[in-house]
Amino acid sequence: MPSERPSPVVDTSASPHARLRPIDLRTVEVTDAFWRPRLRRNREVTLPAQYEQCETTGALRNFERAADLDDGPFNGRYYSDSDVYKWIEAASWTLAGGDSPELVARLDSVIKRVAAAQSGDGYLNTYFSVDRAGERWTDLVVRHEMYCVGHLVQAAVAHHRTTGGRELLDVALRACAHIFERFTPDRVPGTCGHPCLEMALVELYRATGERRWLTLATWQLDSRGRGVLDGSEYLVDHAPVRRQTEVTGHAVRALYLYAAVADVVLETGDEDLRRTVDALWHDLSRHKTSVTGGVGARWDGESFGDAYELPDRAYNETCAAIAHILLAWRLLLLTGAGEYRDAIETALHNGVLCGLSLDGTEFFYQNPLADAGRHRRQEWFSCACCPPNIARLLASLPGYLYTASDEGLWIQLYIGNRADLRLADGTAVRLELATDLPWEGAVSVTVTPEQPAEFTLFLPVPAWAEERPVIRIGGEIVEADHRDGYLAVRRTWAPGDTVELTLATPVRPLVTHPRAAQTHHRVAVTRGPIVYCLEQVDHPDTPVADIRLTGAEDWRPARRTDLLGDVTTLTTSARVLSEPDGPEGAGPPHRRWSGAATATTDVTVTAVPYFAWANREPGPMRVFLPLN
């Protein structure tokens, strides 16, 4: 049975320090040509395939083993439970888009297995449930016990909000009560080597109103950097959270932790934590984010590097791009500032979407910006965090399209949809948004309140648009206030009022920062929210590594419905280095500079969206192209 309560992803409707409130994702139907097929594929292809992976890898069987229903060995890694929990969360958000008897039955079956595995004292982790019970809570640095409970809680909240069911929520509450008794705030410090539970506890507080979960989340934040773990940057344990000013360590762990910091600020207004998260965001966004929104440059430790350490072969884990979105979304809810919205849009279209094959069955763990042709997506991984993470984000995507405030309604992502929303006074408003983004910038929004109503409609102006668009209603130009990345249109709206605007989508060559030494004097090509790349398959006679740009190319967009599931490509004329020593590979890799000009020829090059690379035959790929 669907829940009668609202189903937001992050519920700040009662958060005293939030500027923006979420919307019920069940009230939004995605209709556009780009995202609707992807959400359908997530529901019909990706989720069933991931369920089968959880079965075949033994992750689901581990719960039967913990319930004494299977006498086989433990399967997978000590955090395999989290793969199942993320699948439950993805399936739960998917049900918000409509009933599916088969999915409901499968979901109910999985939840019963999870519930049966829980110990009488509330403890739940199948790795420790049978033959390792004496090792519980003895290795907070490595064993991910609280991390797994964090994903359990997030799954339980999603399931409760979309279905109204309490089966999994009660399991999560018992597990959290066990942790509360074991690591009681102000008495026993406790935190996990991999953050996640902190963020989940705040959402559990929002879902239940029980303040002890917020207290426990804050206590876990403040237990970090105080000798509970190993004091390493890798675990983001090198300093107390309140004294951290630079983003460092394992990228996913860091951003999950900082998202929890933002959550606590939303609920408490803690000034120290607010200064902390602002400083960390400044470092992340100004110094340590790839052009795709990917984060975590180093393969060593899946970690952040130094400022401007943004190499071609960046690690850029898919989960880290998702964590980037989770942090940015919370800061957007806190402030209403457009830079956070822009970060979400960039990471979504490039850093995250790249992690999923066009058919929805294979995944990237790492997302480098250059490759020799050997990096390919896989159906699953022994550490399988990324695939179900993508699934749960896509399933919840309708919940990221709008927010509300006392002033009115905010569009956050230009994705075609129909939405039935409510103003602060309860007035119902239907919005119908149509657009061909991410390819072309025309947008129309039809506003239909149940009766004429005065409110402000906030329309984002993405940084990539470069100029403020003209807004027309009923064909007439209207004035709008520009507020921190949004155009604010306040008027008394009548049923059927239609807002029209066209966002400029120029091709934008983005030159690397001079301090980004590993990609110095190179350029990435973007258009709208999309980052482009060159693939060898489109240049059979020209090594992509030899292509050089001037930065003044005339890129020509062309819609290709026959290519990569319908994309816009960019084509131009560019220079290609000619090898003076014969064919490619014939000369030595290093030779003394002679001062002679390098011979070049002109060729036609075609750029395709980065998110779609590696869906055809293997070959080299480049996002950043050298300037000649």
d(Cα 544, Cα 429) in Å, to the nearest integer? Answer: 51
The CB-side HSE value for 163 (13 A sphere, CA atoms) comes to 28
In angstroms, the CA 330 to CA 323 distance is 11
Does residue 155 contact residue 85 with C-beta atoms inside 8 Å?
yes
CA 484 from chain center: how many Å? 22
**One of 89, 198, 203, 302 is an active-site residue; which one?**
302
- DSSP element (H, E) containing 162: helix 145-163
CA distances for 513 relative to 277, 538, 551, 609, angstroms: 24, 28, 14, 22
Cα distance between residue 456 and residue 424, in whole Å: 11
Q: How many CA atoms does the CB half-sphere of 509 hold within 13 Å?
A: 16
Reply yes or no on whether 385 is catalytic.
yes
For the chain, what's the residue count? 628
| Cβ contact 319:386 at 8 Å | yes
- Alpha-carbon distance of 319 to 219, in angstroms, equals 25
Name residue 98's amino acid. G
Q: Known catalytic residue: 302?
A: yes
User: How far apart, in Å, are the Cα atoms of 258 and each of 4, 20, 82, 199, 295?
Assistant: 32, 19, 20, 9, 14
For residue 337 the two structure tokens come to 């500032």
- The alpha carbon dihedral of 180, 181, 183, 185 has a sign of positive
Pairing assessment for the beta strands 453-460 and 408-411 based on DSSP bridges = parallel
Q: What is the separation, in whole angstroms, between the first and last Cα of the chain?
A: 62
d(CA 257, CA 223): 12
Q: Please identify which of the residues 385, 386, 407, 535 carries the catalytic annotation.
A: 385
Enter the DSSP assignment of 326: H
Cα pseudo-dihedral 526, 256, 270, 178, rounded to 10: 160
Q: How would you classify the pairing of strands 567-577 and 522-527? A: unpaired
Catalytic residues: 302, 385
